[in-house]
Structure 1
């Protein structure tokens, strides 16, 4: 078992309040109470009812180039199996599937870019290997043969996001965590320039540390607390097929997915992603668009997803679409999560901005927060995700010394 989950920490006696009961908040609750903190989660809706309920459950290293986010993804990938093992009776709900990923390029230019990208990842310690046409056909018989390059990533995995979040939170509750749903934060509690808790629709809630883990709504929460961060919603849609016999055996996506993830364009970005679920339906993605919190499912997004998925996997032409759903992801302009203390307001921490990678990065994020709170140095420098960077703090302010309420 990974030593990081067994180490002694100094969080005992620390009261932590987590704003947000999605995947990040649930992973934080599980890890922090394991490391000795007293934990309360305040969720304005239901557990895992926001972004977490509208994702695919990806635990990926294949889509991240060398840098701090890839390092966090590698840490998280090592931690996930340990966490699942520790959840014991709740592990079945997680639906951990280390099925691997296949990235394919369908153009010569895409093949050159994919080869170079994989080479950089390999230098950073990512396991990946190129497949020839015969190997690709054996791995994914239903995949188009119009492929110029293919790279296999054995470390890519998948969980059932809502199941994983509730399993983590269930573990935290069993260890003494308090979870309040339908509990919306309405104001900060500030004393002597320090955040000492929050006012909620259920009354005041005091804590030594408040962690903003509200996903796409983290920007609004930060505004409310008086320390704004530039987190914006970025919408994504998914198509779900009718249940099928085993057809797709890995997470399969076109190499242009990486470009869509890394794009800052507000207009519709789409790429082909096809992957299986244990229940039988295939998940087809993906799309990205900045449209605020407009919750409408748009035909152009669904059409783009279907068209590109069909090119990648022609057998889908005869498959029925059962339903579609969309959700919002917490987006930051520099495409890095925001993890750590807010220097403008002592007592406030953030764990947000993971966009579509929050499921996979959640357990690593929880470890970084726990280590930093305990004053310990982790294998990844949390400074890479600092709050006070240009993409996150667009208008720095001085901490308030006003006592808002008690």
Structure 2
């Protein structure tokens, strides 16, 4: 058995997925988190597992890999712990992207065609199709594309299910353990410092999400991962009003922008419990966690234009979270060239829930010397956007 000691920093969904994959491969895994599992970014997202918002390239390939893995992993977890698998609320309900202007329609159709050539399943919907699929959706739709491969999970439930599976396969967890530094010998990391002690490690995986930048700096190998904030509104239960994940075509542009200013678009979906999640916003404000009414108002206004029935919805709560942002909008995955033994698995921004399981598989393959399931050259740590 491989008894390489691996310390995974971060018990969010990416760290949990990595811990599970490495524990299954026989590594001696310890997960450290300064708070509680799934207590940071993971619990402040919508649980999207999307291929629809990514153009052809490495990130789309990772999304496609992850989309193939998710149902298999949920089934594997169900064999050991049916309740944990059920708590993931895995729902392969598909997504629908709509445009409400002629210019938006042209852009959406062209984007979908490019995705189709990359292997994404797309279905152009007529006005009648849209009305049948989403009766409450505005009729002012100029184009609509259905993505059958889009899915959703309850993010905290999914993270805890992955982490629980990792623990059942030998991984260990320490909470309330903030990493403050590294022990380095001959250019290799040999441990991390936690509350006055050194936790020994042969390999350290930085999976701290938006905090990966500060954590990497403490370890002596800083990477340019910064927080980008998003907010979500949650209605009281409205069963049947929204049947798919539905968003306007502006969402793809908001995801890809490098602007630090506020970007909003309509992203609407329901949960198993019937509540409706309404997003989305993106802005760079550091780690300022203030909930701003003007941001929530902008999100709500766009959502109501998409689903007029939401005008009478009762908002139960609102929450916001930080996403790990990299200037070139690609994840960071691989060993740090400046410090042997330090690996990064971060930088997924708002796609980390969906991409977590593919990221974990690639990490395991890279660590064990296996051929990666897809090319990873675009995710390397030594690219300009990461070491800037």
Q: TM-score by structure 1 length?
A: 0.94
Correspondence for 1:250? 244
Task: Choose which of 99, 121, 125 in structure 2 pairs with 1:127.
Answer: 121
Aligned residues: 384
Correspondence for 2:28? 38
Change (3 A) 1:32 1:245: same
1:61-80 correspondence to structure 2 within 5 Å: 61-80=51-70
The farther-off stretch of 240-249 and 148-157 is 240-249
CA contact (8 A) 1:257 1:272 kept: yes
Correspondence for 1:169? 163
Correspondence for 2:339? 345
Task: Choose which of 41, 47, 50 in structure 2 pairs with 1:57.
Answer: 47
Correspondence for 1:366? 360
1:209 and 1:179 mapped to 2: Cα distance?
16
Structure 2 unpaired stretches of 5+ = none
Corresponding position: 1:328 with 2:322: yes
Correspondence for 1:184? 178
Correspondence for 1:27? 17
Q: How much does 1:175 deviate?
A: 1.2
Correspondence for 1:356? 350
1:71-150 correspondence to structure 2 within 5 Å: 71-88=61-78, 89=81, 90-150=84-144
Correspondence for 2:153? 159
Q: 1:287 is paired with a residue of what secondary structure?
A: strand
1:203 and 1:26 mapped to 2: Cα distance?
23
Correspondence for 1:48? 38
CA contact (8 A) 1:58 1:157 kept: yes
The Cα offsets for residues 215-240 of structure 1, whole Å up to 9 and x where unpaired, read as 00000001001101000000000000
The Cα offsets for residues 235-270 of structure 1, whole Å up to 9 and x where unpaired, read as 000000011121111000000000000000100000
The farther-off stretch of 378-387 and 335-344 is 378-387
Correspondence for 2:228? 234
Q: How much does 1:158 deviate?
A: 0.2
Correspondence for 2:302? 308
Q: How much does 1:13 deviate?
A: 2.0
Q: How much does 1:202 deviate?
A: 6.4
Q: CA RMSD in A?
A: 0.8
Corresponding position: 1:213 with 2:207: yes
Q: 2:121 is paired with a residue of what secondary structure?
A: coil
Correspondence for 1:399? none
CA contact (8 A) 1:183 1:202 kept: no
Correspondence for 1:299? 293
1:227 and 1:202 mapped to 2: Cα distance?
21
Q: How much does 1:203 deviate?
A: 2.1
2:196 and 2:111 mapped to 1: Cα distance?
50
The Cα offsets for residues 42-79 of structure 1, whole Å up to 9 and x where unpaired, read as 00001000000000000000000000000000000000
The Cα offsets for residues 264-322 of structure 1, whole Å up to 9 and x where unpaired, read as 01000000011000111100000000000000001121011000000000001111111
1:128 and 1:271 mapped to 2: Cα distance?
21
The farther-off stretch of 297-306 and 64-73 is 297-306
Structure 1 unpaired stretches of 5+ = 1-10, 395-406
The Cα offsets for residues 100-138 of structure 1, whole Å up to 9 and x where unpaired, read as 000000110000000000000000000001000000000
Q: How much does 1:14 deviate?
A: 1.5
